[in-house]
Amino acid sequence: MKNKTDKVVEVLVKQFDVLRGPINPSISFNLIAAAFFVRVSGLEAYKDHIVLEEDAWVKIAQADNPVKALSKVLEKIEKDNNQFKHLNYLVEDALRSKSKFDAEFKKVCQNLDSIDLSGVNLSSVIEVFSATFFGLQGKRGGAESVTPLDIKHLVESLLSKDSYESAYDPCIGTGTFLTIGPDKIKSIYANEINLSTYALSGIFHFIAGNFDFNLEDKNSLVHPFVEGNSLKKFDLVISFPPFGMRLRPEELKSYKNDEWNRFHYGVSNDTSWLFVEHILSVLEDKGEAFVALPFGALFSTGFNREIRKGLVDAGVIDTVIQLPDRMFYNTAIPVALVVLKKDRPKNEPIYFIKATDLGKIHKAKRYLDNEDVDQIVKAYKSADEIDGFARLVNINEVLNEDYNLMPNRYIWSGDDNEEVNINDIVNALEESSNVAFESRNLIGELLGDYGVKLS
């Protein structure tokens, strides 16, 4: 039997059917999300946290042109509340659309108006609603901005503390901390440069009850949070940086001269490790960070290898969890979850977990169930050696492997024979590509000193 929370999610998802045809799904999603935000903002529990006209929802639900009415309400909310920006991005595509769908959207508003929200877990509602939509859309619908629920559940289960004063994500997407909740995290700070995603993240965290939410629309690698004359520090950092971001030679120079000296382990044209260095620079000494990185970042040579060497030698890499492939909506690229801690002894071993055999495939995506998550968490919290699954590796062994941080380099299971050969081929291709790209940038940088530009 469905609970009230499941029923609310079901109603929200059904609104896509109401709007199907007149407008594309992404526009529908933004409209439904924005309308639901206004609907929720009028609830008693939210009134102390937002300046909202008493009849704001009525103006939308009863308007002949509800999209235009929604736009005006969002404009007023943004004007009266400093915590919201770029809300117009949620409706601008709908306003520009040549399709006529006022009757359909009015029906959506009526359906939202009829929902009983008493006793409903709204953070779960918004999480499942988002995951359902982006799971259906995949690469087509901006799914790169959403972290799957099973991955979030895994990270939340790995947290070592019951509560945190502050948490941070340098590229938050639609919402890293939605299900963790304000009872566990007092203040949230984040960056998001996609303005439509920025707007969604703001309203989603508000719906989830994260009222102390500080979001910036600037590149976190260029504009970190500052407190006084220092970088602001955080107890917890969780991040799923964008995969495959590359820097141009002129950008590399600016990071090498960073005023906060965040990138002292090295600068690579691959931003994966730049995000790691940035995260370490803003992490409290007793804090912990969880960062998802593509496999290539864990073994590639060149600048990435030098950065890994610096991090391993400094003792800040605590655990590396190799996840199965096809875990994300928008890419089949396999990733690893890297756990960072600054208060570890420099020569303490690194714990490796090889979880590549876990999960089940459904509609081209792999999902971790509760049993899979529990298996990873149990290993992580015990740090025991588990044959074919987990192992504590001495730093000298990592050094002998040239600072390769792939768990399958240190953990072998009996059924790996064929899979390892395939992975070796893929890894070699990725490594060659990374080396070629880095070499080209380095040559371009050197030639640039003589006024010569590569075409």
pLDDT digits (tens, 9 = 90+) for 185-242: 999 999 999 999 999 999 999 999 999 999 999 999 999 999 999 999 999 999 999 8
Neighbours of 226 (CB within 10 A): 11
pLDDT category at 66 given cuts 50, 70, 90 is: very high
Q: Residue 240 domain-assigned?
A: yes
Q: pLDDT at residue 250 above 70? A: yes
DSSP per residue, 97-129: -SS--HHHHHHHHHHHHT---TT--HHHHHHHH
Rounded distance between C-alpha atoms, residue 377 and residue 391, angstroms: 14
Least confident of 41-55, 70-84, 96-110, 335-349: 96-110
| Residue 22 pLDDT | 72
Q: Residue 47 domain-assigned?
A: yes
**pLDDT > 90 fraction of the chain, expressed in percent and rounded:** 73
| Residue 443 pLDDT | 56
β-strand pairing of 283-294 with 335-341: antiparallel
| Residue 364 pLDDT | 77
Assess whether 270 and 318 both reside in one domain.
yes
Q: pLDDT at residue 167 above 80? A: yes
Assess whether 40 and 116 both reside in one domain.
yes
* Angle at the Cα of 84 from the Cα atoms of 80 and 87, rounded to 5 degrees: 100
3-state secondary structure of 63: coil
Mean pLDDT of the 293-311 span: 95
The per-residue pLDDT for range 261-273, each reduced to its tens digit, is 999 999 998 899 9
Question: Phi and psi for 435 in degrees, rounded to 5?
Answer: -60, -45
Q: Residue 383 domain-assigned?
A: yes
| Residue 412 pLDDT | 86
Assess whether 152 and 113 both reside in one domain.
no
Least confident of 128-132, 133-137, 331-335, 361-365: 133-137
Its pTM stands at: 0.88
How far apart, in Å, do the first and last CA atoms of the chain sit? Answer: 63
Amino acid at 417: N
Q: What is the domain count for the chain?
A: 2
Least confident of 49-63, 102-116, 239-253: 239-253
Rounded distance between C-alpha atoms, residue 45 and residue 63, angstroms: 26
Q: Residue 133 domain-assigned?
A: no
Q: Residue 126 domain-assigned?
A: no
Assess whether 191 and 273 both reside in one domain.
yes
Rounded distance between C-alpha atoms, residue 149 and residue 179, angstroms: 9
Assess whether 82 and 145 both reside in one domain.
no
Q: Which CATH number fits the domain that encloses residue 302?
A: 3.40.50.150
Q: Residue 127 domain-assigned?
A: no
CB 137 within 8 A of CB 241: no
Residues 6 or more apart in contact with residue 39 via CB below 8 angstroms: 57, 112, 113, 115, 117
3 state SS for 408-444:
HHCCCCCCCHHHHHHHHHHHHHHHHHHHHHHHHHHHH
CB 261 within 8 A of CB 224: no
- Phi-psi bin for 315: left (phi > 0), alpha (psi -120 to 50), beta? left
| Residue 244 pLDDT | 77
What is the rounded (10 degree) CA torsion for 283, 147, 121, 29? 130
> Interhelix angle for 417-448 vs 249-256, to 10°?
90
**pLDDT > 70 fraction of the chain, expressed in percent and rounded:** 88
Q: Residue 440 domain-assigned?
A: no
Assess whether 94 and 207 both reside in one domain.
no
Rounded distance between C-alpha atoms, residue 324 and residue 204, angstroms: 28
Q: pLDDT at residue 301 above 60? A: yes
Q: Residue 327 domain-assigned?
A: yes
Query: Where are the extended beta strands (E) located within 157-303?
Result: 164-169, 185-191, 213-216, 226-227, 230-231, 234-239, 283-294
Q: pLDDT at residue 156 above 80? A: yes
Point out the domain boundary residue: 418, 433, 450.
418
pLDDT category at 98 given cuts 50, 70, 90 is: confident
> Residue 398 to residues 299, 328, 349, 404, 420: CA-CA distances in angstroms?
11, 29, 9, 7, 19
pLDDT category at 422 given cuts 50, 70, 90 is: low
- Phi-psi bin for 178: left (phi > 0), alpha (psi -120 to 50), beta? alpha
Assess whether 164 and 107 both reside in one domain.
no
Assess whether 51 and 183 both reside in one domain.
no
| Residue 449 pLDDT | 46
Q: pLDDT at residue 103 above 50? A: yes
Point out the domain boundary residue: 87, 120, 153.
120
Assess whether 162 and 257 both reside in one domain.
yes
**Of 66 and 131, which is predicted with more confidence?**
66
pLDDT category at 152 given cuts 50, 70, 90 is: very high
Amino acid at 353: I
Structure tokens at 32: 């439904």
pLDDT category at 49 given cuts 50, 70, 90 is: very high
> Residue 416 to residues 356, 408, 424, 438: CA-CA distances in angstroms?
10, 9, 12, 31
How many residues are there in the chain?
455
Full residue range of the structural domain in which residue 62 is found: 4-120
Q: pLDDT at residue 390 above 60? A: yes
CB 398 within 8 A of CB 405: yes
Q: pLDDT at residue 420 above 50? A: no
Mean model confidence pLDDT for the chain:
89
| Residue 398 pLDDT | 98
B/e letters for 43-74, b = 16+ CB within 10 Å, e = fewer, are eeebeeebebeeebbebbbebeebbebbbebb
Assess whether 227 and 175 both reside in one domain.
yes
Assess whether 292 and 156 both reside in one domain.
yes
| Residue 418 pLDDT | 43
Mean pLDDT of the 396-402 span: 97
3-state secondary structure of 186: strand
Question: Phi and psi for 384 in degrees, rounded to 5?
Answer: -80, 155
**Of 315 and 139, which is predicted with more confidence?**
315
CA 309 distance to own-chain centroid: 26
| Residue 428 pLDDT | 47
Assess whether 116 and 146 both reside in one domain.
no
| Residue 1 pLDDT | 62
Half-sphere exposure of 23 (CA within 13 A, CB side): 28
